[in-house]
């Protein structure tokens, strides 16, 4: 009985932190609360500066994100989160060109076009020639593609719950503020600065 009471006290504390009532997340939080917060070991070579350490940690998160994305979309004819991005842009823009999709998705054209080719093969998308310029290809969702997009959107929302882990509401708000700042920086760089300048300025 004492253990049950203690568990309820932990759950009350968890809710008071504004973390909701999800039992799976509560389990992760409880493990951290009892055993202490696990600190990611950063290899010495990535401790040269805060910039390098952040780059290392972001790289790890991208890796985890890719694994979880494949799990979330495992029953769908899409492989990557950018596949989902292509479908959503096509849905919103109705009948965009392949170039417009690549630009909106922040993908290299070759990567985007290869993904579109794969999605066409799976009958998720269909290509058609532009009425005014036959050199231009436009893309449209098929009926099957609309259903895939709907299911993928539901899975993307579930995936978001996993990606934020056990962050508190305050930590989420802080992260949103930081990510928006970074997004504005990279958006300006991507849209306004020539690639050669970026390579030169950041010694890439």
Question: Rounded CA gap, 133 and 137, in Å?
Answer: 9
The 10s digit of each residue's pLDDT in 49-80 is 999 999 999 999 999 999 999 999 999 999 89
The 10s digit of each residue's pLDDT in 131-170 is 888 888 999 999 999 999 999 999 999 999 999 988 889 9
Residue among 133, 70, 74 at smallest CA distance from 98: 133
CA 101 to chain centre: 17
Q: CA–CA distance from 151 to each of 75, 82, 92, 157 (Å)? A: 10, 15, 16, 10
Question: Rounded CA gap, 138 and 35, in Å?
Answer: 55
Instruction: Measure the CA dihedral 169/171/173/177, to 10°.
Output: -170
Is this model's pTM higher than 0.75 or not? no
């Amino acid at each position: 009985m004492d253990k049950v009471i203690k568990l309820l006290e932990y759950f009350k504390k968890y809710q008071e932190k504004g973390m909701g009532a999800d039992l799976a997340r509560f389990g992760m939080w409880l493990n951290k609360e009892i055993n202490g917060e696990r600190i990611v070991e950063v290899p010495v070579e990535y401790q040269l500066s805060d910039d390098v350490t952040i780059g290392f940690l972001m790289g790890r998160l991208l890796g985890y994100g890719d694994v979880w994305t494949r799990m979330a979309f495992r029953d769908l004819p899409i492989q990557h989160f950018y596949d989902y991005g292509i479908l959503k842009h096509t849905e919103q823009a109705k009948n965009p060109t392949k170039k417009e999709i690549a630009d909106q998705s922040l993908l290299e054209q070759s990567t985007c076009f290869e993904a579109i080719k794969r999605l066409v093969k799976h009958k998720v998308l269909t290509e058609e020639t532009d009425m005014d310029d036959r050199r231009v290809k436009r893309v449209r969702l098929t009926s099957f593609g609309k259903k895939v997009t709907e299911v993928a959107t539901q899975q993307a929302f579930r995936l978001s719950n996993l990606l934020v882990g056990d962050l508190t509401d305050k930590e989420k708000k802080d992260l949103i503020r930081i990510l928006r700042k970074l997004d504005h920086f990279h958006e300006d760089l991507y849209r306004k600065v020539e690639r050669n300048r970026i390579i030169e300025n950041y010694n890439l």
